[in-house]
Structure 1
Amino acid sequence: MSLTLLSPPAAEPVTLAELKAHLRVTSDDEDALVTGMLVAAVRAIEARGGLALMPQQWRLTLDAAPEETLFLPLSPVSAIDAVSVIDGDGDPRTVSPSLYDAVLGAGARIRPAGPWPLPVPKVGGVHVDFTAGYEDAGAVPAPLKQAVLTLAAFFFETREAAGETRIYAVPRSVDALIAPYKEARL
Structure 2
Amino acid sequence: MIPNLLTAPALEPVSLDEAKAWLRIDATDEDPLLAALIVSARLTLEAYTRRFFVTQSWRMRLDAWPAQTLRRGALAIPFAPFRSLSAVRVYESGDVARTLDSASFRAAPARDAGRVVFLSPPPKPGRPFDGIEIDLVAGYGDSPADTPEPLRRAILALVGHWHENRGDAGDASAPLPTIAMALAKPFRRERLT
TM-score (norm 2): 0.87
Residue 71 (structure 1) shift: 2.5
Gap runs ≥5 in structure 2: none
Residue 131 in structure 1 maps to residue 140 in structure 2? no
Displacement after TM superposition at 1:163 (Å) = 4.8
Number of residues of Structure 1 aligned to a counterpart in Structure 2? 185
Question: Contact 1:162/1:168 (CA < 8 Å) preserved in 2?
Answer: no
Report whether the alignment pairs 1:84 with 2:89: yes
**Amino acid in the other structure paired with 1:16:** L
Q: Which of 48, 69, 78 lines up with 1:73 in the alignment? A: 78
TM-score by length of 1: 0.90
The aligned residue for residue 170 of structure 1 is 176
Residues in 1 aligned to 2:173 and 2:103: alpha-carbon distance in whole angstroms? 52
Q: Are residue 119 (structure 1) and residue 125 (structure 2) matched?
A: yes
Q: Is the 8 A contact 1:83 1:129 kept in 2?
A: yes
Q: Which residue of 2 aligns with 1:36?
A: 36
RMSD after superposition: 2.0
The yes-or-no answer on 1:5 pairing with 2:5 is yes
The residue type paired with residue 26 of structure 2 is T
1:48 aligns with 2:53: no
Q: Does 1:93 align with 2:98?
A: yes
* Cα distance in 2 between the residues matched to 1:32 and 1:52: 23
Match for 2:40: what amino acid? A
Deviation at 1:123, TM superposition (A): 1.4
CA distance in 1, matches of 2:165, 2:61: 37
Question: Do the aligned partners of 1:107 and 1:183 also contact (CA within 8 Å) in 2?
Answer: no
Distance in structure 1 (CA, Å) of the matches to 2:173 and 2:5? 31
Q: Percent identity?
A: 34
- The runs of 5 or more residues in structure 1 that have no matched partner are none
Give runs of ≥4 in structure 1 deviating > 4 Å.
none
Which stretch shifts more, 71-80 or 100-109? 100-109
Quick one: distance in 1 between partners of 2:85 and 2:78? 13
Q: Deviations over 1:26-64 (max 9, x none)?
A: 100111111111110011111111111111100011111
Q: Letter of the 1:28 partner, please give it.
A: T
CA pair 23-45 structure 1, distance change in 2 beyond 3 A: same
